[in-house]
């Protein structure tokens, strides 16, 4: 199988390394940063450059650049993608890329499926890419409306070298609503929390909760600015929920209202227990 990868950062680079484990895979890469592409070629995680004349060689083309870069590439190159090629994205927000992908795929005859590998780190760039990044992880798929099981099975076969643990099929709308809570809100909280003036002096005063809560504050501002703005309505809704709950805790503490504070804490504990048991 021949795989073309647009964008060789953390996710695209990890995809290249994962597919490289399959001796029958040929990986062609493209990146706007020449040094990144050269590093991928030098490490032999990528076998060659993905150029316009090689699109037809690909069985699978992965869009793994930042959202604006991925949508721009797809808009400019859709007419050059042959009908036999499966195109999938790896972006953290699905609405815009799926609307565009489905429309262009129908117009030009190739197949597009939205995708989001549920794995990563707080770091960005090819230097942090790992071949086992996706081992056992979930892969969210957003197929076009009316797609049959055969398409989903085709996608699963294409991604087999990445060794995902499970595939979740959903809609772009459901994906973006869930990601606003499970991922984007967490990044907003971490980025806000670390701005406390007390953060200058935490050494020796944390048993792990501080580290866990602030880990994803070490993010890529370029990437996450795009993701937050693209999914803005849903992110704002989650932020508003959080602000409301924080005010409840603040008011209970300020009023020295022991009963209310106990109730709020117990509600949080029970909610966590219920969610963990469901998962």
pLDDT greater than 80 at residue 279: no
Instruction: Look up the domain containing 210 and give its range.
Output: 175-278
Q: Say yes or no: 9 and 130 in one domain.
A: yes
Domain final position from 120, 135, 170: 170
Count up the domains in the chain and report the number: 2
pLDDT greater than 90 at residue 121: no
Q: Say yes or no: 26 and 157 in one domain.
A: yes
According to the model, what pLDDT value does residue 37 have? 97
According to the model, what pLDDT value does residue 200 have? 84
Q: Say yes or no: 30 and 151 in one domain.
A: yes
Per-residue pLDDT tens digits for 140-188 = 999 999 898 999 999 999 999 999 999 999 999 999 999 999 999 999 9
Domain final position from 132, 147, 170: 170
Tracing tokens 């706007």 back to the chain, one arrives at 32
Cα separation of the two ends of the chain: 35
pLDDT greater than 80 at residue 119: yes
Report how far residue 134's alpha carbon sits from residue 116's, in angstroms, rounded to the nearest whole number: 11
Per-residue pLDDT tens digits for 23-80 = 999 999 999 999 999 999 999 999 999 999 999 999 999 999 999 999 999 999 999 9
According to the model, what pLDDT value does residue 235 have? 98
Sheet holding 2-6, edge to edge: 48-49, 26-30, 2-6, 60-63, 86-89, 111-117, 138-142, 166-169
Averaged pLDDT of the chain = 95
pLDDT greater than 90 at residue 112: yes
The structure tokens listed for 237 are: 């809704």
Domain final position from 170, 194, 213: 170
Task: Give mean pLDDT, residues 238-251.
Answer: 98
Q: Say yes or no: 166 and 229 in one domain.
A: no
Cα within 13 Å of Cα(179), Cβ side: 25
pLDDT above 70 covers a percentage of the chain that reads 100
Q: State pTM to two decimals.
A: 0.90
CATH value at residue 249:
1.10.3660.10
Q: Say yes or no: 93 and 194 in one domain.
A: no
- pLDDT class of 9 with cuts at 50, 70, 90: very high
According to the model, what pLDDT value does residue 76 have? 97
Q: Say yes or no: 23 and 152 in one domain.
A: yes
Q: Say yes or no: 182 and 269 in one domain.
A: yes
């Amino acid at each position: 199988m021949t795989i073309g990868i647009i964008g060789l950062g953390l996710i695209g680079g990890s995809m290249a390394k994962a597919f490289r484990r399959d001796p029958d895979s040929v990986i062609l890469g493209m990146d706007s940063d020449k040094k990144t592409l050269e590093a991928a070629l030098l490490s032999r995680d990528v076998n060659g450059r993905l150029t316009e004349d090689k699109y037809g060689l690909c069985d699978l083309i992965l869009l793994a650049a930042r959202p604006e870069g991925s949508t721009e590439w797809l808009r400019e190159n859709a007419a050059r993608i042959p009908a036999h090629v499966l195109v999938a994205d790896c972006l953290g927000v699905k609405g815009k890329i799926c609307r565009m992908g489905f429309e262009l795929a129908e117009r030009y005859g190739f197949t597009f499926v939205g995708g989001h590998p549920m794995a990563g780190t707080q770091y960005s760039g090819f230097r942090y890419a790992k071949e086992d990044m996706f081992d056992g992880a979930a892969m969210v798929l957003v197929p076009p409306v009316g797609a049959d099981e055969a398409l989903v099975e085709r996608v699963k076969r294409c991604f087999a070298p990445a060794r995902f643990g499970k595939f979740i099929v959903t809609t772009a709308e459901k994906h973006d609503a869930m990601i606003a809570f499970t991922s984007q809100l967490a990044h907003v909280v971490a980025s806000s929390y670390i701005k406390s003036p007390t953060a200058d002096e935490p050494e020796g005063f944390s048993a792990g909760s501080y580290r866990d809560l602030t880990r994803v504050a070490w993010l890529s501002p370029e990437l996450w600015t795009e993701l937050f703005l693209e999914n803005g309505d849903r992110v704002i809704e989650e932020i508003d929920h959080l602000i409301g709950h924080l005010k409840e805790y603040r008011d209970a503490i300020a009023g020295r209202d022991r009963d209310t504070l106990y109730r709020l804490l117990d509600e949080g504990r029970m909610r966590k227990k219920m969610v963990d048991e469901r998962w």
